Homo-oligomer: A and B are copies of this chain.
Amino acid sequence: MNINYTDYENEDFEQPDKPYDECGVFGVYSNGGDDEKIVDYCHSALYSLQHRGQDSCGIVVNDSGVFEYHKGLGVIADAFKQSDLERLSRFSDGKIALAHVRYSPKGQRIPHNTQPLVARHIKGPMSISFNGSLINSAELRAEYEMKGGIFHSTSDVEVIAYAITEGRLTESTIQQALEKAMYKLKGAYSMAIMSAKKLIAVRDPYGFRPLCIGSLPNDKGWVVASESCALNSIGASFVRDVLPGEIVVIKNGVITSITTHCNTVPSRLCIFEYIYTARPDSVIEGASVHGARLRAGMYLAKEHPVEADIVIGVPDSGLDAALGYSRESGIPYGIGFIKNRYIERTFIKPTQVDRANSVKIKLNPLVESIKDKRVVVVDDSIVRGTTTNIIIELLRTAGAREVHVRISSPPFIHPCYFGTDITDRSTLIACLMSIDDICRSINADSLGYLSLESVSKLAPEAKCGFCDGCFSGEYPVDVPDELPQNKFDKKFTENIQLTIN
């Protein structure tokens, strides 16, 4: 079959499109019908989910089946003006709304991939806020295109919209259409879906990505969110996680559930949510993210002990594990770096300043904590090694006598097919050299990664199984031979071009 996805409309052609992304999902169903509040809920929740995606964001409101939206590139503070929120409030009947923050691979900050997706159809309008990645999206997309479908975006969520719409043609409700579509969708998906009158939440049968249900203050309605920290920000209380495979339907203020797809396969929550993705104050499947990271640090201390004077974390994601390492080892915890609080959003990289200086603007070592000390520095992962190298150099310049690097996860050596953006294995340092060589390469005095065995014990309270495929290479489903993005390679596409009209 001639596949011609000329979809990599990226900024610089460095990197082809990838059909997976990491995102934050939010939906709200209010019994009260308070127009302004529902938009405020979405807006506040997006701030709490912003760490899951800073590339684009959007809110869709509903007025008796008429959908109005605002979406924009960049973080919420850049994409939403006061007038945008006011306009959405005017167009909302105050009952149902969806919101989304999107992470997109480099070069994919393009308007047509912003979410929530809004689709119009004779069976009623539908909006989808999606987090995950399908492994069979290319096949499904080809199938729907060969039936006459047209795609505006390059995102998996449009494939899912087609699958649900296909179901609506024969089924009598949108939830039945979704139930039917799930037989076709292979991979990771956690979604909030809005129809004219319903808010629906769904997770794939493996439960790769988190999704939880909360109740609004004073029982005024329901919310669904990727992480529980989004509930806290709006004063909602945590009710429970959506089950793997479950379809939760909220209509007329009442929650019902379709469980056909539940327990069809063992659950496999992405373990990387605990290690890096989620916010420490979130609780996923009953386990605290902060607790898991503390534990990661404690296991690290057991597996890779060292004599040292101070334990520091690389802010912000290394702080929890550093505290765990300190507690287990008895080595005092210290504040080793000050992170600039003002560059989370747009930072115009100076033209003349190299990568090392770019790191220096973000992180400044605290000489007081480091000078003449043997330092244990804890981070969550090493990607290319370049940044770690600079961090060690900063510590040595600040007077550290020894620098011992501890990583609160195993080496990343396998691709992820379910939504974590590991773009190119050839740039992953752990795929290229041994741990000893990495240690020398980053100029550390010692280097220790968390063991795979300990990873499995990070969240003992969790009521689910885990996917650790990126560390172990063992995936819960058959995965393609090659990384999905390869088929979007420009050279490949150009060859295909020659054969089409």
Contacts and interface: CB of A to CB of B under 8 A. Distances in A.
Interface of A: 1-9, 34, 36-37, 40, 43-44, 47-48, 50-51, 54, 64-68, 75-77, 80-82, 85, 91, 111-112, 118-125, 141-142, 144-154, 158, 161-162, 165-166, 168-169, 172-174, 195-197, 229, 232-235, 279-281, 283, 288, 290-291, 294, 316, 319-320, 323, 327, 332-335, 337-338, 340-348, 350-353, 357, 360-361, 364-369, 490, 493-494, 497, 500-501
Nearest to A174: B501
Contacts of A153: 120
Given A8-B66, A40-B352, A65-B493, 14 more contacts: A3-B122, A5-B120, A6-B67, A66-B490, A77-B342, A81-B348, A120-B150, A120-B151, A121-B145, A122-B142, A173-B501, A235-B360, A316-B341, A342-B344
Contacts of A350: 36, 40, 43-44, 85
B501 A338 contact: no
Copies assembled: 4
Contacts of A146: 122, 169
A290 B229 contact: no
Contact of A348 (B80, B150, B151, B316): B80
B367 A288 contact: yes
A327 B333 CA distance: 9
A491 B446 CA distance: 62
Contact of A48 (B173, B290, B340, B344): B340
A173 B340 CA distance: 39
Contacts of A294: 368
A115 to B, nearest CB: 13
A327 B326 CA distance: 13
Contacts of A233: 340, 357, 360-361, 364
A367 B281 contact: yes
